[in-house]
Chain A
């Protein structure tokens, strides 16, 4: 087995096992409930609140926005716990004591959550179609699928950065909640970005999800892949930027921990 194949194997093992380590304690029924009911609760809350506020004229706006935003559950919470779980398990010294490729270890932790987040969005959109009148008859479904995957990928990039923060502090749950709920506003899921104050629009533009939600709305309204292509390229760029920032923070953390002797005190 050459180095490349070994690294792919490491990536695959990391992605499968870290995901199982995170959710294996749940019974299948509990796991499915978390995947099906949680999106439904968020959709109900914001869609009916938004519809009430707009006299039912903008239901699709809230359905699509919240369905796509659901990906942040996997992208932010899931990825953070997958990376930060090593801190709680006390496995960091054993992880950093191996010769394994750090890039593969790091990004391997996020991969399964891209799939998981994509499934979460599909479930949420299904609720939208079945219960909230979302019409996908004019939608380029493959393009929408691609948009969902890319948006989930970019959100996982932010999750990787948050995961690294969780190696530095025990209070990352607070930060995670802050980011998750901020995304409900800043990503445009529930408020049109053009109506936000300028400084909030600036923040929106450097966050994942923003372009993904905008692109999804365009596709559901009948837009084509070429219409949303620029948004998708930017979304990938945003995801890579956060993912790489997270990776460099991860590498910096390892170096600092070895220099300062803080590997076990984090």
Chain B
């Protein structure tokens, strides 16, 4: 039995517009999504903002009723057996909210343990264990309001493990964390993975998905557009190389010239403070560099490298990077 099965899931939001001439505006957040997650698998869900990742997670965690389609978690329908599903899952939505800031970390866990029906004698032992697991040992008596963002997000992990669920939904759990905090958080996820927990992870960080996921589904505009292992997804761009060009204030005209080159598959731009990194996907590899430099003539250019494509490059190609 698969831990999670999603069949043609769809969710439409309806919003009323206007005061006197009221009309209904429909927004399709999830159009048609199907996938399965095996027991013990870490399944990544990637997609741009508004692709439908969080909406999908909300439906699977019983917080949102689907407009159409069906889904089972641990073999139980998420609508008909919502309360049964809740006993078997844990979930985190990114960010630091969702905790009682005026209570201590331990008190938060104590309350959520009671909400999950955990026997007090069990939670008494489990809370210190979980606080240690997430690196908050010795901080349980402090008020959550005084915790750093990373500590709050780690407390969320402890909260979600209180009833020892087999299936975890982690929706952008490392968002807003500093690099050290994010790395520590990923170690916690790896630890959970080693405990054979089934994990559905959504993230914007491609390296994170690449490093952690057994399989990944890329969704865009509410539909799954690719689903494979990270290495399988990278094969989508195996014909490509990436020319990375460091520029300082490249003009729009120069970028247009670059986009117009016939061998440029796609061009994406990463802003890093005062400089931009131009990521040119091309089938010509290093041979493309002279033409790229010609297109950027007159611009201030720094380091130029040619590298193999990553999962991010595959993602950009699949979701249609600005070509």
Residues of A participating in the B interface, judged by any CB pair closer than 8 Å: 1, 3, 6, 9-10, 13-14, 17, 20-22, 24-25, 85, 89-91, 93-100, 105, 258-261, 263
Contact = CB atoms under 8 A, between A and B. Distances in A.
Given A20-B103, A24-B103, A99-B83, A94 B117 contact: no
Contacts of B61: 97
B91 A10 contact: no
A185 to B, nearest CB: 34
Contacts, number: 88
A34 to B, nearest CB: 16
Interface in B200-258: none
B64 A98 contact: no
B284 interface: no
Most buried by A among B91, B95, B98: B98
Interface in B79-103: 83-84, 86-87, 91, 93, 95, 97-103
B115 A259 contact: no
A63 B2 CA distance: 68
B111 A99 contact: no
B114 A14 contact: yes
A13 B110 contact: yes
Contact of A91 (B14, B95, B98, B120): B98
Contacts of A9: 114, 120
A96 B63 contact: yes
Contacts of A21: 100, 102-103
A131 B291 CA distance: 93
B131 to A, nearest CB: 17
A17 B120 contact: no
B147 interface: no
Interface string B8-44: 0001011000000000000001000000000000000
Given A20-B107, A97-B91, A25 B102 contact: yes
Contacts of B11: 261
Contacts of B13: 260-261
A20 B107 CA distance: 10
Given A10-B117, A13-B111, 4 more contacts: A6-B119, A95-B115, A100-B117, A260-B14
Contacts of B84: 99
A6 to B, nearest CB: 5
B159 interface: yes
Contacts of B64: 258, 261, 263
Nearest to A13: B114
A17 B103 contact: yes
5 contacts: A3-B117, A13-B111, A258-B63, A258-B64, A261-B11
B65 interface: yes
A94 B112 contact: yes
> Which 7 pairs between the two chains have the least Cβ-Cβ distance?
A90-B97, A13-B114, A98-B115, A100-B115, A99-B86, A10-B114, A21-B102
Nearest to A12: B114
B274 to A, nearest CB: 36
Contact of B111 (A17, A24, A97): A17
A89 B65 contact: no
Contact of B86 (A10, A90, A98, A261): A98
A200 B268 CA distance: 69
Given A93-B93, A258-B63, A98 B98 contact: no
Contacts of A10: 114-115, 117
A97 B62 contact: yes
